[in-house]
Structure 1
Amino acid sequence: MDSQNIPHLIPTFLSSKTLRLEQICQSKFQPRNYFNEVAMEELAASIKEHGILQPLLVRPMPGNQYELVAGERRYKAAQALGLTVVPVTVREMTDPEVLQYALVENLQREDLNPVEETEGILQLLEMRLQKDRDWIISLLNSIANGKRGLTDGAVRNRELTDGAVRNREQQLIQDVFATIGRLTPESFRTHRLPLLKLPPELFEALRYGRIKWTKAKEIAKLESESERLALLERAIAQSLSLRQIQQIVREKKTPRNSAQQQREVEGLLQQFTHFKAWDNPDKRYKMESLLTELKELLTEQD
């Protein structure tokens, strides 16, 4: 990434060198959790043939150690190949600068899935505003509500009722999103924050790239956890399209009326009268079991 795109991150100290891989530690501010295995294998093959063409970006840490700022995929590929030294660019950077740089780089290359993107942006806002996540979400909702007043969550935080404070915090939020690009505070609030409310099984599948956000959002419409899990696994195993998932969800959410059920029962009874598999022990046993269950249900209704 060209550092000219984020001029306020231009460092006061800059040098290029090689480092032993053991001197580099991964950053706690890295927004990425999921790495595509096929893409990683292709990168490793390229590095094996051509070497690392773009240096890793690191910042100095105590004890002659360095923290990785950008180049996570190259770092992991070097580890997999057993490399001992790698080319690096060294920069003095603060914690917020590290997170912001990593976010911008990954967003520009579209390397982050929606969960990583959302959590990374929230973490950056927390660092820049020195507030917790709930406070920031309340402020985003407050901004959207405009003159209608603060949200309940924001009202609980009295600091938000100070107009001057709110204006300063809003400007910081605008600055963060201007640097990140692609998203505005409102689009982030509308299209990214809702995924934090996804059921756990869908949230984790989305985090690790097993399903797309639009499909996860559709599956979340099912109230039954067992139905969600079944559809999630089916969608992944069969690569169901969004339209197919929408159709399945509609069918599950639209109960059959009594007239439809009665027609189905009458059809089954008609088939039963022509059933000619009594000589098959397995089928006869199953039919007898079903008849027993039906009798019990009829008894319960009497």
Structure 2
Amino acid sequence: MNNPNTQDIIPTCLSSKTLRLEQICQSQFQPRNYFNEVAMEELAASIKAHGILQPLLVRPIAGNQYELVAGERRYKAAQFLGLTVVPVTVREMTDTEVLQYALVENLQREDLNPVEETEGILQLLEMRLQKDRDWIISLLNHIANGKRGLTDSAVRNREQQVIQEIFSTLGRLSPESFRAHRLPLLKLPPELFEALRYGRIQWTKAKEIAKLQSESERLALLERAIAQALSLRQIQRIVREKKIPRDSAQQQREVEGLLQKFTQFKAWENPDKRNKIESLLTELKQLLSEQD
């Protein structure tokens, strides 16, 4: 799939100038929440030595104020360094164009973590389709089921076309891969979801830790995984070890329940059922003898 070009999704009319930093406000449509501290320090050092080489992209809003569209890392570095004036490129853009541009720019550099990526794409879908998040998720599931022949395949053609256009522009995920591999992370336990949002842990590791039913066990393993930089394989082994005692106890309760039902069984007079029971008892005896 070809990489999208952010120039293809925004108006071409623009002007270059400098603005006072106080004239620029951050955008509500910025999909990024987490900024790596080391990378930010390196960028600040580069700007201090060489200046801002690539202008910030902004759009005019009320009065003499502008909203930041792209270049938030440069904007934050300028604030940190105490700069008062920055170079900018000014463009007239709609809310949808701002969000789409910010998503594409960040996805091209792979700057977004899975939570930011998922929430940003959902927000873009909501804006383009003028529907809420639950409706969007329901539609994605409906489309997937329709392709599998499970539901009426005559899903709303316009909505499907819009969805395909958005994912083609973003150039990273298909609607189905987004539905199957990104939407499930929204159901992560809160502590894992927030750790993933702020880049403290990878998605594959969070998904593995989520297999633990106990909140205290999840929290303990999460902090240990972060502090000790545990690998996915190490986390998988720990999860397996923690699940064994609980699974064994559950199985024992099930066996005890079956035994109680077996003593009350009333079908001994039925030859077919009696033969099946005798066959199962023979297998059980053989299994128990192997443990001696």
TM-score higher than 0.5 here?
Answer: yes
Question: 3-state SS of the aligned residue for 1:29?
Answer: coil
Q: Which amino acid in structure 1 is aligned with residue 48 of structure 2?
A: K
Q: Which amino acid in structure 1 is aligned with residue 240 of structure 2?
A: R
1:64 maps to 64
Q: CA deviation at 1:112?
A: 0.3
2:279 maps to none
Q: CA deviation at 1:167?
A: 1.1
Question: 3-state SS of the aligned residue for 1:75?
Answer: helix
Q: Which amino acid in structure 2 is aligned with residue 206 of structure 1?
A: L
How high is the TM-score relative to the length of structure 1? Answer: 0.78
Residue deviations 1:146-193 (CA, integer Å, cap 9, x gap): 13117xxxxxxxxxx9x4x71110110000000000100001001100
Partners of 2:58 and 2:91 within 8 A in 1: yes
Q: Which amino acid in structure 2 is aligned with residue 121 of structure 1?
A: I
Question: 3-state SS of the aligned residue for 1:16?
Answer: strand
2:273 maps to none
**Residue 242 of structure 1 pairs with residue 232 of structure 2:** yes
Aligned identity (percent) is 86
Q: Which amino acid in structure 2 is aligned with residue 83 of structure 1?
A: L
Which of 168, 177, 185 is the equivalent residue of 1:178? 168
1:277 maps to none
Question: 3-state SS of the aligned residue for 1:255?
Answer: helix
- Point out where structure 2 has 5 or more consecutive residues left out of the alignment: 250-292
Partners of 2:10 and 2:101 within 8 A in 1: no
RMSD value over aligned CA atoms? 1.7
- Following TM superposition, the consecutive aligned residue runs of length 4 or more in structure 1 with deviations greater than 3 angstroms are none
Partners of 2:4 and 2:171 within 8 A in 1: no
Q: Which amino acid in structure 2 is aligned with residue 171 of structure 1?
A: Q
Q: CA deviation at 1:4?
A: 8.0
2:197 maps to 207
After superposition, where does 1:93-242 map in structure 2 within 5 Å? 93-146=93-146, 147-149=149-151, 163=154, 166-242=156-232
Partners of 2:4 and 2:104 within 8 A in 1: no
Q: Distance in 1 between matches of 2:111 and 2:7?
A: 22
Q: Distance in 2 between matches of 1:247 and 1:52?
A: 47
After superposition, where does 1:267-286 map in structure 2 within 5 Å? none
Q: Distance in 2 between matches of 1:12 and 1:185?
A: 29
Partners of 2:52 and 2:87 within 8 A in 1: yes
- Point out where structure 1 has 5 or more consecutive residues left out of the alignment: 151-160, 259-302
Partners of 2:4 and 2:169 within 8 A in 1: no
Q: Which amino acid in structure 2 is aligned with residue 169 of structure 1?
A: E
1:47 maps to 47
Q: CA deviation at 1:5?
A: 1.5
Question: 3-state SS of the aligned residue for 1:231?
Answer: helix
Q: CA deviation at 1:92?
A: 0.5
Q: Distance in 1 between matches of 2:228 and 2:6?
A: 42
After superposition, where does 1:2-81 map in structure 2 within 5 Å? 5-6=5-6, 8-81=8-81
Question: 3-state SS of the aligned residue for 2:121?
Answer: helix
Q: Which amino acid in structure 1 is aligned with residue 99 of structure 2?
A: L
Q: Which amino acid in structure 1 is aligned with residue 117 of structure 2?
A: E
**Residue 82 of structure 1 pairs with residue 72 of structure 2:** no
Q: Distance in 1 between matches of 2:186 and 2:4?
A: 33
Q: Distance in 1 between matches of 2:56 and 2:73?
A: 10
Larger RCO: 1 or 2 (CA < 8 Å, sep 6+): 2
